[in-house]
Structure 1
Amino acid sequence: MAAGDFSFQPQYGKLVSYDKERFNAIPLGEGAHLKALLTAFLPGQFIPLHTPGVDLALLVLRGRGWLVVEEREIELAPGSVALVPKGTRRGIRATTKMVLFQVVAPPPKEADHAEVQRKLTKGVF
């Protein structure tokens, strides 16, 4: 998004879709300094533990799960908010159908996703 551009979604629920194989990241908008997305999980799906070079803000819109930050396990429920700084080891696992609103800054690079992709291929949290 350039200066003056904006993104608006009147009802996020219409955008949510689930993938049987893995979590589904649904882009909402991206600019030079941030990326916003919805992330939809089926029970048991996860974003593997990884240590990206991006800050993360998340809000649980529906469902329940767990956020792992370094050695801490934090229960997630509707309305939960978390802010995780870049360089912090983190992962997310759903216990029910779960939808998150996430903002990452700056937008992640390929290197930020390499560990996630490798672990998803192996089915490792």
Structure 2
Amino acid sequence: MNKQVITSEQAPSAIGPYSQAIKVGNTVYLSGQIPLDPATMEVVEGFEAQVCRVFDNLSAVAEAAGGKLQDIVKLNIFLTDLGNFATVNEIMERYFEKPYPARAAIGVAALPKGVPVEMDGIMVVG
């Protein structure tokens, strides 16, 4: 198996022992992104801005792997408050076109750095 590490300076650097993404063949496994500004490594303020930042971070890593958000075939969204589900849907429609990726929205007790949202995904390129 030939694993290629994918990195982007346009997305936050890893805050633990993991890669931003791993590419195997034409499949890319995107690590979870939280709403960190890659320039400052600080959490952005406001829920809508946080969701946008997560999508922007995922987009940067997708581009570094030779793809784009639309190439994501499976998206996992982790929320500390499922009451924000409708807001996430509305923002997601700004970033994706039909056909939308397969998706899961998972309610969790807590996320790194106390953020309310994290997303990871699987992308197919080429």
TM-score range, shorter chain: 0.3 to 0.5
TM-score normalised over the length of structure 2 = 0.36
Q: Which has the higher helix share?
A: 2
For normalisation by structure 1, the TM-score amounts to: 0.36
